[in-house]
Amino acid sequence: MRVRTGINGLDELIEGGFPERSTILLSGTPGTGKTIFCLQYIYGGLQMGENGIYITLEEKPEELRREAERFSWDLKRYEDQNRLVILDASARAGLPPTEKHFLEDTDIESFLNKVYNLTSEIQAKRLVLDSLPPLFEREENIRSEIYKIGRILSEIGCTSIIVSETSDENKFSRFGVEEFIARGLITLHLEEIESRLKVRECRRSIFIRKMRETKHKVRRYPFSIGENGINIDVKGELL
Ligand SMILES: Nc1ncnc2c1ncn2[C@@H]1O[C@H](COP(=O)(O)OP(=O)(O)O)[C@@H](O)[C@H]1O
Ligand SMILES: [Mg+2]
């Protein structure tokens, strides 16, 4: 079974969508479009009748709602229907929580517990963890903790995206272990190119590096971010 991603163009590159109940790692440097990708995935699911949970560690839920609004994705409406939970794990010590669902600095176990409960409460089918690195600011056993997350995610039964922000274009995970718990690995890129007219410009692209159970091309495809979110140019293969 395939889970349609809601990302324009992506499904036809991966046999119709992500393998059901798999965990996909999405990585890229800052500003490459990871959060927009995840919002589009969650929103696409809601429109198809699949409930979702968005765990945000970097941005405030309010910021996500506003960003989504720019693409006419009304998250609040689904939150009010209890079909979407935005779990605010962005809390920094000292600030009072303003969200219904929030999590302050805590250990991985209680974090996973909360996620597990919320997911079964709304019977979520899609899960986003945006992003992984802040979870491990004070963590020492990163490797085993990441494996723990992988086990819980596969038990929860959602089709999940884990975001890993990288500082280096050539790396696809921060800790070098995330890729082992993921059945798929997608990287987003933003690079400067010189156009034919010798003008320097930036180009966005997406690369499906690994997708188990799937015949896919190992190529970069250009994409743009427009009024409806991410649009992949599936004919525009790049090397
Ligand atoms: N409404 C929009 N229309 C077009 N492009 C946008 C819009 N909002 C953000 N962007 C682009 O997307 C980038 C942010 O994407 P985001 O998904 O937040 O990146 P990441 O999570 O990878 O850091 C911005 O820097 C901007 O270039
Ligand atoms: Mg982001």
- Closest atom, ligand 1, to C-alpha of 163: 21
Domains parsed from the chain with CATH numbers: 2-232 (3.40.50.300)
pLDDT at residue number 197: 77
Q: Report the pLDDT value the prediction gives residue 239, as an integer from 0 to 100.
A: 65
CB of 190 closer than 6 angstroms to any ligand 1 atom: no
pLDDT, mean of residues 209-214: 96
Residue 225 Cβ inside 6 Å of ligand 1? The answer reads yes
Cα angle value 207/212/214 (rounded, 5°)? 75
Ligand located closest to 56 CA: 2
Confidence grade of residue 96 (pLDDT, cut at 50, 70, 90): confident
Please write the tens of the pLDDT for every residue from 12-51. 999 999 999 999 999 999 999 999 999 999 999 999 999 9
Q: What does the pLDDT average to over 161-172?
A: 90
Does the CB atom of residue 28 touch ligand 1 within 6 A? yes
Which is the closest atom of ligand 1 to the Cα of 39? 17
Residue-level pLDDT at 49: 98
Q: What band does 170 get if pLDDT is binned at 50, 70 and 90?
A: confident
Above 70 in pLDDT, residue 102? Answer: yes
CA of 225 to the centre of ligand 1 (A): 8
* CA distance linking residue 42 with residue 129, whole number of Å: 11
Closest atom of ligand 1 to CA, residue 32: 22
CB 2 within 8 A of CB 211: no
Decide: 7 and 15 in contact? Cβ < 8 Å: no
pLDDT on residue 93: 58
Neighbours of 182 (CB within 10 A): 25
Beta bridge partners of 23: 160
Query: In this structure, are residues 204 and 189 in contact, taking their beta carbons and an 8 Å threshold?
Result: yes
Residue with tokens 């968005």: 54
pLDDT band at residue 237 using 50, 70 and 90 as cut-offs = confident
Q: Is 30 in the pocket of ligand 1 (CB under 6 A)?
A: yes
Express each pLDDT in 107-159 by its tens digit: 889 999 999 999 999 999 999 999 999 888 777 789 999 999 999 998 999 99
Tens of pLDDT along 145-160? 999 999 999 899 999 9
Residue 87, pLDDT > 90, answer yes
**Residue 189: nearest ligand to its CA?**
1
pLDDT at 57 over 90: yes
* Cβ of 97 less than 6 Å from ligand 1: no
pLDDT at 94: 60
pTM exceeds 0.75: yes
Look at residues 99, 71, 95 and name the one whose alpha carbon lies nearest to residue 84.
Answer: 99
pLDDT at position 92 is 63
Residue with tokens 């119709």: 16
Please name the residues in contact with 17: beta carbons below 8 A apart, sequence gap of 6 or more: 2, 3, 4, 5, 10, 11
Ligand nearest to the CA of 187: 1
> According to the model, what pLDDT value does residue 174 have?
87
Question: Tens digit of pLDDT for each residue in 212-233?
Answer: 999 999 999 999 999 999 999 9
CA distances from 20 to 17, 121, 158 (A): 8, 20, 8
